[in-house]
């Protein structure tokens, strides 16, 4: 039997990049997957790749009514939720001295506030054996020039997992962080450009960018009972970037 056979999963930011890589792996391992995102065209394209064991719900994690619609759809069709990958996020460069209120609000609203309520609203659907996975980043433990606000949001995500693991003591629900390094995604391409992507790949110990399939494999491990004695932890998928 596949590791995730019969499980129900929600992936925010699931229409592309790391989220889609995880959705593909979850479906391969037997899960029924809901992907949640803001772009209908991307959701439609992702569904064509994922097949019949996937659904798409359009919305933003910064809109609580959209999150309510997502979880109402899950409850109506599946009854409950086993796996949540809180993956939606954004980032852009702004060095100290050029940080604007708009830059700060956009990134913290999506990466922290959106994640908090994505998780909190999922809890009534989750029970014994449930797994919550938060997407962190290698930047959460590193200094990164002109990327301080994004990096700070990912440091916040790491601490939320530590605190929530204690809050969830006795519920049977685990929470862990998966922290990617440089992964080949649309967001990375948009933020870094071709030269930046090449430089980031070269900066890792393995000398290359990661692939969303590689983060998907780690997400599947954290979603499954193979990681049953892990909670409050962090797993880096960063080619060694933040490790040496």
Looking at residue 100, the DSSP 8-state letter turns out to be -
Is residue 150 flagged as an active site residue?
A: yes
Residue 60 sits at φ, ψ, to 5 deg, of -120, 140
What is the residue whose two structure tokens read 């200094």? Answer: 143
Is residue 154 flagged as an active site residue?
A: yes
Which of these, 18, 83, 30, lies nearest to 227 by C-alpha position? 83
Element (H, E) at 159: helix 148-167
Locate 179 and state its tokens: 């922290």
Element (H, E) at 187: helix 186-203
Element (H, E) at 176: strand 174-180
Which of these, 188, 233, 227, 178, lies nearest to 209 by C-alpha position? 188
Which of these, 124, 87, 119, 125, lies nearest to 8 by C-alpha position? 125
Given a contact cutoff of 8 angstroms between Cβ atoms, the answer to whether 7 and 83 are in contact is yes
Given a contact cutoff of 8 angstroms between Cβ atoms, the answer to whether 68 and 44 are in contact is no
Query: CA separation (Å) from 139 to 4, 27, 71?
Result: 30, 29, 30
User: Radius of gyration over alpha carbons of the chain, in Å?
Assistant: 17
Nearest-angstrom CA–CA distance, 100 and 106: 10
Residues with catalytic annotation?
150, 154
């Amino acid at each position: 039997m596949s590791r995730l056979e019969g499980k129900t999963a929600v992936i925010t930011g699931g229409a592309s990049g790391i989220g889609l890589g995880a959705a593909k792996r979850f479906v391969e391992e037997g899960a029924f997957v809901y992907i949640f995102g803001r772009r209908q065209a991307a959701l439609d394209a992702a569904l064509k790749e994922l097949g019949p064991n996937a659904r798409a719900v359009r919305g933003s994690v910064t809109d609580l009514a959209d999150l309510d619609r997502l979880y109402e759809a899950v409850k109506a069709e599946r009854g409950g939720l086993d796996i949540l990958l809180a993956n939606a996020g954004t980032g852009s460069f702004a060095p100290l001295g050029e940080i604007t209120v708009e830059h700060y609000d956009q990134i913290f609203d999506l990466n922290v506030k959106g994640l908090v309520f994505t998780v909190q609203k999922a809890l009534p659907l989750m029970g014994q054996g449930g797994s919550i996975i938060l997407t962190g980043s290698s930047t959460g433990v590193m200094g990164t020039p002109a990327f301080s606000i994004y990096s700070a949001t990912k440091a916040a995500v790491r601490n939320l997992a530590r605190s929530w693991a204690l809050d969830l003591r006795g519920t049977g629900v685990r929470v862990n962080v998966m922290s990617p390094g440089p992964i080949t995604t649309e967001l990375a391409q948009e933020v870094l450009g071709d030269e930046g992507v090449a430089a980031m790949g070269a900066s890792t110990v393995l000398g290359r960018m990661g692939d969303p399939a590689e983060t998907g494999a780690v997400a599947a491990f954290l979603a499954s009972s193979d990681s049953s004695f892990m909670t409050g932890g962090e797993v880096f998928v960063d080619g060694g970037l933040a490790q040496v």
